[in-house]
Chains A and B, each alone.
Chain A
Amino acid sequence: MWWKILMGLLITFVVISVFLMPPPQKELGDISRIFFFHVPVAWVTVLAFLVAMVNSILYLSRKDPVYDLQAAISSQLGFLFAILATVSGAIFAKNAWGSYWNWDPRETSVFILLLIYGAYLALRSAIEAEDRKANLSAVYSILAFITVPFLVFVVPRVFQSLHPTDSIVNSQIKIQMPPLVLLVFLSSLLGFSLLFVWIYNLEIKVTILHKKIKGSLTIK
């Protein structure tokens, strides 16, 4: 309970200070404020993916439908956050570098996550039987997760040659952030993570209740 309040406070703090404080990157100006939303949202996408994969593994080893439910919900949320991350990234790219899409390695990775989520949800909607749906989507989730290290390793190599756009994003992280910026950034990171956890838990409870009302009651 307390963490929900904390989350509320954090996000309020973040939203207010993002617009009131001086922009974190002077060269880029106001657009750099998006940094406080874009990066945490991208981080949550990755977090959701991790949660989905862990739940998938748990489902395959214990066969409890709750894990499948959790994996599905985590993926749905991850999909939403991936869209947010991609769009906010594109807006930033347009303002900072002139075009919406640059195949910058970071952008590409988030987009690929978006594709993976999309594929996962497409798979789930293509199967009717509950146990088949759970098994197959769990397997796919794990497979997708395994390819991610390869993506991380391979993608930057290829797209490096195109555009040194990453340096700007990197410089904000590598260079010591001024204390205020750091504070707002970390609060945003924590706030969004907690937001994810909150929505995740809520969705699970709602879905379980929904299933109980429908009369299908074998959830432990």
Chain B
Amino acid sequence: MGTKSSTWTSRVLALFLKDFKSELRTRYSLNALVMFAVITLTVVSFSIGMFSLSSKVKSSLFWIVIFFSAMSGLAQVFIKEEEAKTSTLLKLIASSESIFAGKLLYNLVLLLFLEIIIVPLFIIMLGFSILNFWLFLCVLVLGSLGLVCSTTIIAAIVAKASVKGALFAVLSFPILLPLLVTVISGTNLASEGASFSQGLRDLQILFSYTVVMFVASFMLFDFVWEE
């Protein structure tokens, strides 16, 4: 006989760990994500060649690579549940809030892992010099958090559509625009060596964006998840 003991966090963690374990075994999203990012990076680096670029352009390119890689890999978290018919299972055992939190956490970890690979590669391949590394890191982490907060619910939406194709990118782009603009600006500032206080404005915008999108997604997720 099982005894009942659980908190909301332990349930969310259980959901996250399941996805994590599943991903380690199949490496389905991970491969797509990393390969896509590396290929895009190579293409960019190749086409630029010896040409010298301003840090503004390099910041933009960096986030373009991240954006498209995210578009190629972050929707899988829900699509694979729908296709494998395991979403019924989840609906029976967990509340929509915990599922949302679990998937969000998973996407965040996935994205951060991707960035750990891409950042060094980008710095090397494009000669991207970052003078204020801590600012860059803050912008990166906060930006990633914001990206995941807004795209997780869109991934859930796309998983329920019959024709998926480029739908995820099409739906995410307008929503992510404020984030992309701010994050490119922040990265540029960090690259040029601006002080933390100068970058504060961008960080504030990122923070408020993340909070707003998280709350909105959290509240709206139920309508997407429940049939």
Residues of A within 8 A of B (CB): 60, 112, 115-116, 118-119, 122-123, 125-128, 132, 135-136, 138-140, 142-144, 146-147, 150-151, 153-155, 157-158
Contacts and interface: CB of A to CB of B under 8 A. Distances in A.
Nearest to A108: B177
Per DSSP, are chain A's interface residues mostly helix, strand or loop, or mixed?
helix
Contacts, number: 86
B205 A153 contact: yes
Contacts of A143: 150, 153-154, 175, 213, 216-217, 220
13 contacts: A112-B174, A115-B174, A122-B167, A123-B167, A125-B163, A127-B160, A128-B162, A140-B171, A143-B154, A143-B217, A144-B174, A150-B205, A150-B209
A115 B178 contact: no
Contacts of B217: 143
B224 A136 contact: yes
Nearest to A60: B223
Interface of B: 150, 153-154, 157, 160-165, 167, 170-171, 173-175, 177-178, 181-182, 185, 205, 208-209, 212-213, 216-217, 220, 223-224, 227
A112 B180 CA distance: 13
A21 to B, nearest CB: 38
Contact of A155 (B154, B163, B181, B223): B181
A213 to B, nearest CB: 26
B125 to A, nearest CB: 26
A66 B197 CA distance: 50
A127 B174 contact: no
